Amino acid sequence: METILVPVLLGAVLLAVKPLREGAGGRAAFVTLSLLLQCALAVRAAMSPQAARSLHLTEDVLLLLQPDGLSGVFLVMTAVLWALAGVFSFGYLKNDRRAGVFFGVYLIVYGTMAGVAQSGNLITVYLFYEMLTLTSSLLVFYEGTHEAIMAGLKYLFYSVAGAFLALAGIFMLSRMNEWLIFTPGGVALDYQANGGTGTVLAAVFLMVLGLGAKAGMYPLHGWLPTAHPVAPAPASAVLSGLIVKAGVFFSIRVVYYIVGAGRLRGTWVQYAWLTLALVTVFMGSMLAYMEPVLKKRLAYSTVSQVSYILFGLALLTPGGFTGGLLHMVFHAVTKCGLFLAAGALIKQTGCTRVSELAGVGRAMPVTAGCFAVFALSLVGIPPFSGFVSKWYLATGVEGAGVGLFALIGPAVLLVSALLTAGYLFPLPVRGFFAPAKAGVKEAPAVMALPLVVLAALALGLGLFAQPLLACLAEIAGTVL
């Protein structure tokens, strides 16, 4: 409970106390301690999960917090990356008078993410999921420009529309099981209660489709390339690296902890999910390849890369599930790094297009070098972490019994990897091999340090993936 309440209360205090909100020195110390505390609470919750806590709102509505191994992985990943992006924000928002408002909202949004992670049934995770949409939209609105307001409204529209589809699925399933408590392998469903197997499949499809809005899956992906370019770089980093994973996490709970993979294997829902995921992987890569604006290019990249995760999950095999979870973690590290590096490059140069950043590597070697590391990882070059997760995704089709998808899936992933190289490598290549960009200085240390840590994680998690792999394989063994 404290992993949720503490950051929300600290964020509220920061927003409410004017001297703390507007005093740069005191605010920095307060936020730093808050970020460290949230990391400590997340690690403690993951290492020693507490007993379930419940609250009956009505006779039919149960709110339940029930941490498990999956929530521990998601919570620690979120806390660490949230803290690194927060440290980066000190330099990025140094001269911004509204920085106190940003940090207050930033802490509150993390609290809602912790709520999504630790929810114990569908009703609870849905409530936190909706709270996440409302609070995170403030990060998109932050700049206050017409473009930011329209982008925030678009984000809200897509997210709420997707959430309505998910809510319809919850109503359909709730008639077959009153509490819908997350249970590895699925809960007992009364098929005679409301329409039988067909209703279950329809409910799952509605939920997978609706939750795909947050995850950026076609056809509800349109908000990402609009929202990311207008949000501050730290907000773009957590939106793309972490908040989109809330839709993935929710989908995992529905498929593997409520309905059960065995009930979906070989059904039209599995094939439709695989199709949408692969269409999104290819489409997002192509759009990113053709996009000249750096942050928008990275946003389309997220559309593609998150559907790698969804493809692995839709295979409904231990290998696919493990590969999907690995890519959820590794993509979070890499994409947070890419957006922060892009934010540093744009802030130091004033340039937003990739073509305008030639020679920036010579002027900003640390930032551009970290960008290169993140690019190598996202493409899937060994020994970086992206290679490990994509290997498991490509091999996860073995024994899946998905027919042509066993051939089409790896082929699409390979083509997407080539396109990823095509849209990410030009920046470091032109950055280091063109004449140095005049008048440009390296990002300050408070911005460069999180990039170096993230780059080390992108490499280190690839070289030493076994502990995390063992943890995720154990989780896979409980649900499949």
> Which three-class secondary structure string do you get for 88-109?
HHHHHCCCCCCHHHHHHHHHHH
Describe the crossing of helices 405-424 and 268-290 by its angle, rounded to 10 degrees: 20
Are the beta carbons of 272 and 142 closer than 8 angstroms?
Answer: no
CB atoms within 10 A of CB 104: 25
Asked if residue 146 is part of any domain, the answer here is no
Task: For residue 234, tell me if it sits in a domain.
Answer: no
pLDDT for res 189: 85
Cα–Cα distance for residue pair 387/327, rounded to 1 Å = 9
> Which of 403, 385, 404 is CA-nearest to residue 335?
385
Residue (of 191, 190, 402, 427) closest to 298 by Cα position: 427
User: Can you tell me the distance from the alpha carbon of 21 to that of 13, in angstroms, rounded to the nearest whole number?
Assistant: 9
CA distances from 94 to 8, 16, 97, 210 (A): 23, 20, 8, 38
SS3 category, 83: helix
Q: 146-194: per-residue pLDDT in tens?
A: 999 999 999 999 999 999 999 999 999 988 888 899 999 999 887 776 6
How would you write 192-244 as a 3-class SS string? CCCCCHHHHHHHHHHHHHHHHHHHCCCCCCCCHHHHHHHCCHHHHHHHHHHHH
DSSP string, 131-167: HHHHHHHHHHHTT-SHHHHHHHHHHHHHHHHHHHHHH
Q: How many domains does the chain have?
A: 1
- Look up residue 439 and give its two tokens: 């008048």
Domain contains 352: yes
Residue 226 lies in a domain: no
Alpha-carbon span 28 to 41, nearest angstrom: 20
DSSP states along 320-378: HHHHHHHHHHHHHHHHHHHHHHHHHHHHHH---BGGGGTTHHHHSHHHHHHHHHHHHHH
Instruction: Note the pLDDT of residue 194.
Output: 67
The reply to whether 128 falls in a domain is no
Q: What is the pLDDT of residue 193?
A: 67
**Is the CA virtual torsion 207, 208, 214, 216 positive or negative?**
negative
Query: pLDDT tens, position by position, for the chain (480 residues)?
Result: 889 999 999 999 999 988 888 887 788 999 999 999 999 999 999 988 777 788 887 777 888 999 899 999 999 999 999 999 999 999 999 888 888 999 999 999 999 999 999 999 999 999 999 999 999 999 999 988 999 999 999 999 999 999 999 999 999 998 888 889 999 999 988 777 666 788 999 999 999 999 999 888 988 888 888 888 888 999 999 999 999 999 999 999 999 999 999 999 999 999 999 999 999 999 999 999 999 999 999 999 999 999 999 999 999 999 999 999 999 999 999 999 999 999 999 999 989 899 999 999 999 999 999 999 999 999 999 999 999 999 888 888 877 788 888 889 999 999 999 999 999 999 999 999 888 888 889 999 999 999 999 999 999 999 999 999 999 999 999 998
Beta bridge partners of 210: none
Inside any domain, residue 165: no
pLDDT at site 436: 82
Euclidean distance between CA atoms 439 and 412, whole angstroms: 42
Is 405 part of a structural domain of the chain?
A: yes
pLDDT of residue 71: 93
Domain assignment present for residue 253? The answer is: no
Give me the domain span that covers residue 477: 265-480
